[in-house]
Amino acid sequence: MSLSAPALAGSVGIPRNYATTQSSAETIAKLEQASETAQREAREGNKDNFAFVRKSLEIDHLIQRMDSGQQVAQNQIDAALQPVQVW
């Protein structure tokens, strides 16, 4: 006798994909907020640091790709949501 049941959980030890836990609209909203934060930092606190401007542009490009229906790798979304690293 064999039993079968649908598998509803993901693999143990592997985090679920960000895109599967949040809608595209939510993801885009978070990315837009991250872009605005980088722009604000560039204007207010780090005028001479191009890293904040570049981060905002990279996020905006990612949003455009998502809006056009292109596939976006999870690691790109995760990286975009991280704060700017200034050395």
- Domain borders along the chain are 22-80
Q: Are 81 and 59 in contact (CB under 8 A)?
A: no
Distance CA 84, CA 82 (A): 7
In a structure prediction context, what are the per-residue pLDDT tens digits for the chain, which is 87 residues long? 444 444 444 444 444 444 444 568 899 999 999 999 988 888 887 556 788 888 999 999 999 999 998 988 989 999 999 988 776
Q: How far apart are CA 62 and CA 55, in angstroms?
A: 11
pTM: 0.66
Strand residues in the chain grouped as ranges (E): none
* CA pair distance 41, 3, nearest whole angstrom: 57
